Structure 1
Amino acid sequence: MAFSISIVLALATFASTFSTLPPRQSSTVTVDPAKIYQTIDGFGISETFQRANQIHALSPSLQRYALDLLFNRTSGAGFSILRNGIGSSPDSSSDHMVSIQPKNPGGPNAVPKYVWDGNDNSQVWVSTEAVKTYGVDTVYANAWSAPGYMKTNNNDANGGSLCGVSAASCSSGDWKQAYANYLAQYIVYYKDIGVNITHLGFLNEPDLTTSYASMRSNGQQAADFIKVLRPTLDKANLTSVKITCCDAEGWSSQQGMMGALNGVSSMLGTITAHSYTSQPNSPINTPHNVWQTENADLQGPWATAFYSNNGAGEGLNWANKIHTALTTANASAYLYWIGVQGGATNSKLIRISDDKKSVIPSKRLWAFANWSRHVRPGAARIGASGGPSGSRGSAFRDVDKSLAVQVIQGGTVTGTVTVKVNGFVAFAAKAWITDNGHDCDEIVATLTADGTSVSAQVPGRSMVTFVLSPSM
């Protein structure tokens, strides 16, 4: 009898132990290349408001480490878009972005008095590194405001509108053309040093008045200026520069501006929106590519975990935000607010320590890396379905015909995931994982002998990217 009781107790103990193990299941993600959605322009960050100065002030070895984390496709995130700030302030006090024409030249029709220091708060240095060292092709120059003397409130901060647009008259005159010339000159300065600005924005959060550089605009006022800006760029031989609009504070706010932009659609290149007041949960009605150009956990205390307690700054949360923007809102790009800076909040992806002796990446960076390293500019989103319980999947076909398939496992299920692509035979396959213990690290991926599917282990609370290369 004692022997029987011992067996029963042993079995009970085994069952109890087994029940506490993470559940495992096998599942298949099916990719359908025949279903084609939006084209991807890339992923990126900014170093505006003198954040570039903070990187530039580091030791040479830390400078390189920080830049590698941002732009290196092997050891970092491999970002493909850099967003720069076009200054409007009269000086560089605090973290202001100084204007290339700090003083009123004498009116909108006066000869311009541009001032170029060749530095632009170290944005020239970061841009040159991004373009010439790391091969970044997309540089987005974005103005938060026109200089104060061009505005109704005579201040580059605290709102105000550009003099000369609808319902914004000024005793000093109509400044639309002068502002267009100003923006074109900024692009020329960068062109002269070998950095081609590909996208130009003249507004930032035009639905918000702030104590720093800001300028109000509705859709009609934006259209008024675009009618001047496009021919100005063309006349300056900047025909390839795409005009963006309007970087509204939230996705739905940008949607609300679109009706008034219909008349200038042919002059626009890209629609841009932020995600602070509303998230990208549906497509914006436009024929143009749409970028999510700014989002961040601005106030949350510095967090480095991929998953802990569903915190706003955790990597898993940002993996999901990007997934939703790409697959539900059909975004063609996703940018975080700041790449590298100091301070104790999650407003950036990478933190400079208070003593300036170390640079610390967060898991938000590595969540981005699982996208940006492998989904390159020109890739097309394609159909993806299936996957294990609690997961979300997406797939992209890059210009080199390789396929990148993302599996985000937000639940606790751990198991083998198989990726099968309809009508596709792979010559090689690899996989990379980001979770609490990995930073976009390569893991074992098993390709079937006939090249029709690839499998890898996908743990709970992780993101895995599969890359399948086509047969020769």
Structure 2
Amino acid sequence: MIVDLSKTYQTIDGFGVSETFQRANQMKALSEPLQRYALDLLWNRTTGAGFSILRNGIGSSPDSSSDHMVSIQPKNPGGPGAAPKYIWDGNDNSQVWISTEAVKTYGVTTVYANAWSAPGYMKTNNNDANGGNLCGVSGASCSSGDWTQAYANYLVQYITYYKELGVKVSHLGFLNEPDLTTSYASMRSNGQQAASFIKVLRPTLDKANYTDVKITCCDAEGWSSQQGMMSALGSVSSLLGTITAHSYTSQPNSPINTPHRVWQTENADLQGPWTATWYSNNGAGEGLLWATKISDAITRGNASAYLYWIGVQGGATNSKLIRIADDKKSVIPSKRLWAFANWSRYVRPGAVRVGTSGGPSGAKISAFQNVDGSVVAHIIQSGASAVNVEVKVSGFKAKVARAWITDDTHNCAEWTVSMAADGGSASAQVPGRSFVTLVFESVG
């Protein structure tokens, strides 16, 4: 396998999860030792996945019943031009807690605040659930008036509350799956309507001195759905920061046509029964499958970030990476978490994907150069047979090479690697159905 540092592709922003819809409350309710263990599994770069992005949900619901995310303005203040009546509990369903831990304890710098909907009174259906449009965007008028500026102010107020607590929101999204109507918080939007709101949101952020906060759009349910919104977003391209898409209805198998970085911001095996295994029959919740999904998104879809849906929660499905046991006395990481760890621990924010060639037949390979100069090479061997792989980094002299492996019996564990005397290549055995990461540290 040859790594070509002269051939460069997208910059990587990172990997992550969310604890939205009161999942962070479930984490916070654990005993303190289990809280720390769960936090370490998510954010620690030595003992956990070393995630670098946290996605938070901006509430829109009138209350916190069920798993609803309560709004910071649950009641209509008296119209779009009325003085706001914000209510802030400083907790935000424990998202403040996990955000503070991620940022202050673990050094995370990318916090993505994402709204599923505007509050119901700002919408055509007068409900934060069941779809409906934001009053005032193109083609959506309401007797109550145009709420676009009030919604922009509302979003800015939300990130200000976090700023006051020492958590800097880096990315702000105002839509989630706008192509889907659900019985929970949801708001419809096409590309033209999203563009009309972005024209209000960007100057509102700038006026509040949030010029460095990037606007994201549009977290469509599938990769091709997001591609379908892009032409209408062309008129606001200069106001946008990052394009975001999910991959439930279509996979990130090709790049989205945009000058901006693109994030895969939500995917999961939502309904499959809890699976902690690495490989058994290539099932939808197995770790090896998720290692390859991330690889495809990055190498074929040119994604700059990949986020799973939920990090930690209870329940018997694969909608999360780490399960809280039914008796709340243990937390159980799945092999999906360790698949992510091989990516997130070593491919750090600011890394650039670089060229590769060769590699074992049928294996998925990729390589990156980090900001610190280190070079990371990935080999995902989906086949059953072991292969010896020599990785040569052209024009690079390494001081040391190290390797890590995830497979049936290893969880991102240190692995044997031998480096050539000239520091230009290293060799490692890659067992069947394994994910091996090599890291070359530069002489510099």
TM range (shorter): over 0.9
Question: 1:173 — aligned with what?
Answer: 145
Question: 1:34 — aligned with what?
Answer: 6
Alignment of 1:229-378 (within 5 A): 229-378=201-350
1:45-79 Cα offsets, whole Å, 9 max, x none, are 00000000000000000000000000000000000
Task: State the Cα distance separating 1:445 from its structure 2 match.
Answer: 1.0
SS of residue paired to 2:412: strand
**Mapped pair 1:92 → 2:59:** no
In structure 2, distance between residues paired with 1:434 and 1:126: 27
In structure 2, distance between residues paired with 1:385 and 1:351: 38
In structure 2, distance between residues paired with 1:139 and 1:94: 25
* Letter of the structure 1 residue corresponding to residue 76 of structure 2: N
Displaced runs of 4+ in structure 1, greater than 6 A?
Answer: none
Unaligned runs of 5+ in 1: 1-28
In structure 1, distance between residues paired with 2:18 and 2:120: 23
In structure 2, distance between residues paired with 1:308 and 1:375: 27
SS of residue paired to 1:89: coil
Task: State the Cα distance separating 1:384 from its structure 2 match.
Answer: 1.0
Contact 1:388 1:413 in 2 (8 A): no
Contact 1:302 1:345 in 2 (8 A): yes
Task: State the Cα distance separating 1:417 from its structure 2 match.
Answer: 1.1
Task: State the Cα distance separating 1:444 from its structure 2 match.
Answer: 1.1
* Letter of the structure 1 residue corresponding to residue 179 of structure 2: D
SS of residue paired to 2:163: helix
* Letter of the structure 2 residue corresponding to residue 231 of structure 1: P
Match of 2:49 among 77, 80, 85: 77
* Letter of the structure 2 residue corresponding to residue 156 of structure 1: D
Task: State the Cα distance separating 1:388 from its structure 2 match.
Answer: 1.5
1:81-124 Cα offsets, whole Å, 9 max, x none, are 00000000000000000000000000000000000000000000
1:236-279 Cα offsets, whole Å, 9 max, x none, are 11111000000000000000000000000000000000000000
* Letter of the structure 2 residue corresponding to residue 444 of structure 1: T
1:107-162 Cα offsets, whole Å, 9 max, x none, are 00000000000000000000000000000000000000000000000000000000
Q: Which moved more, 1:386-395 or 1:289-298?
A: 386-395
What is the number of equivalent residue pairs in this alignment?
444
Instruction: Report the RMSD for the aligned CA atoms in angstroms.
Output: 0.5
SS of residue paired to 1:439: coil
Alignment of 1:44-443 (within 5 A): 44-443=16-415
Task: State the Cα distance separating 1:456 from its structure 2 match.
Answer: 1.1
TM-score, with structure 2 as normaliser: 1.00
In structure 2, distance between residues paired with 1:282 and 1:167: 31
In structure 2, distance between residues paired with 1:356 and 1:385: 47
In structure 2, distance between residues paired with 1:387 and 1:143: 42
SS of residue paired to 1:389: coil
SS of residue paired to 1:142: strand
In structure 2, distance between residues paired with 1:394 and 1:260: 33
Question: 1:471 — aligned with what?
Answer: 443
1:392-446 Cα offsets, whole Å, 9 max, x none, are 1000000001001100000012032111011111100100000010000001111
Question: 1:17 — aligned with what?
Answer: none
SS of residue paired to 1:272: strand
SS of residue paired to 1:55: helix
Larger Cα-atom Rg: 1
Alignment of 1:9-20 (within 5 A): none
In structure 1, distance between residues paired with 2:291 and 2:380: 7
